[in-house]
């Protein structure tokens, strides 16, 4: 895999470290010095690339730039509680569970779950997104508010199907496996889906970075594997989406825009 990175001269050392890190993940990174990286530059250079600047490490394309900015989640975390967050109730975060987020994405849900007490393993297979997560976790470790919770977050570069299957073969169990498939395209209400507002900038870039791989990204196989190793499996879905793997959940928590489907493989409710 190849990727370009734009960066100013003052970020030369950071680029060298990034290049070395991505080489370890089988990504060939080429660098291009840029005098000034601003909105105009990004519009004039619409191809997908990484950007190293005063904001840290970002992904850019089509004039947009995004990063999994955990520090921007602090206001949400300060408002969150075990009672107020539907996700916390679904995952029983009050019991401080061992939890695997098998569809890490930008890590925002995992950050919330770790903040509320879970010990979370984030599994991400794409090397670019994984490195973006590494950078944002490193920034969070320097943040006065977030740093106390970072020890409960472990980033793992792996394919979730392979990782969960290996745990099953080793008879290793966890309290919760959390799934939030990125491409829930089989929706029960297609017209309502078409009328939704344009996908947020972060999701637009993620969809460009992570092309659909069919059933794998729908998470059907992940659900079957998760049920082998977890006391409960929690699946986040759009409110009107069909059940993952066409499997009726044992329980649901319903919100306005999304819901959490719960599966209790070992009969524990």
Query: Which residues does the annotation place in the binding site?
Result: 124-125, 180
18: left (phi > 0), else alpha (psi -120 to 50), else beta? alpha
Q: H or E segment at 238?
A: strand 230-238
Contact 55, 11 (CB under 8 A): no
Contact 223, 263 (CB under 8 A): yes
Q: Which residue in 239, 226, 255 sits closest to 101, CA to CA? A: 226
Query: What is each CA distance from 233 to 19, 130, 136, 207, 257, in whole angstroms?
Result: 37, 23, 27, 25, 20
Binding residues for S-adenosyl-L-methionine: 124-125, 180
Contact 7, 33 (CB under 8 A): yes
Contact 100, 176 (CB under 8 A): yes
Angle subtended by helix axes 127-140 and 201-209, to nearest 10: 140
Q: Which residue in 131, 106, 121, 2 sits closest to 56, CA to CA? A: 131
CB-CB neighbours of 222 under 10 Å: 26
* Distance of alpha carbon 131 from the chain centroid: 12
């Amino acid at each position: 895999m190849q990727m370009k990175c734009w960066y100013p001269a003052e970020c030369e050392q950071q680029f060298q470290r990034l290049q070395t890190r991505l080489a370890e993940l089988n990504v060939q990174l080429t660098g291009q010095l840029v005098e000034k990286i601003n909105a105009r530059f990004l519009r004039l250079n619409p191809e997908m690339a990484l950007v190293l600047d005063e904001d840290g490490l970002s992904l850019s394309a089509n004039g947009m730039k995004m990063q999994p900015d955990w520090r921007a989640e602090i206001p949400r975390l300060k408002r969150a509680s075990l009672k107020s967050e539907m996700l916390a109730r679904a995952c029983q975060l009050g019991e401080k569970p061992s939890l695997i987020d098998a569809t890490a994405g930008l890590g925002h849900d995992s950050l919330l779950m770790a903040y509320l007490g879970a010990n979370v393993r984030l599994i991400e297979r794409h090397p670019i997104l994984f490195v973006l997560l590494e950078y944002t976790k490193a920034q969070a470790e320097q943040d006065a508010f977030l740093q106390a919770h970072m020890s409960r977050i472990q980033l793992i570069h792996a394919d979730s199907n392979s990782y969960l299957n290996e745990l099953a073969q080793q008879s290793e169990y966890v309290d919760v496996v959390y799934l939030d498939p990125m491409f829930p395209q089989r929706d029960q209400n297609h017209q309502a889906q078409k009328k939704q507002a344009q996908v947020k900038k972060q999701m637009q870039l993620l969809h460009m970075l992570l092309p659909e791989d069919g059933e794998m990204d729908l998470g059907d196989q992940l659900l079957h594997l998760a049920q082998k190793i977890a006391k409960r499996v929690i699946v986040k879905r759009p409110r009107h989406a069909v059940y993952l793997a066409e499997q009726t959940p044992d329980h649901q928590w319903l919100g306005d825009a999304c819901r959490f489907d719960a599966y209790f493989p070992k009969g524990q409710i």
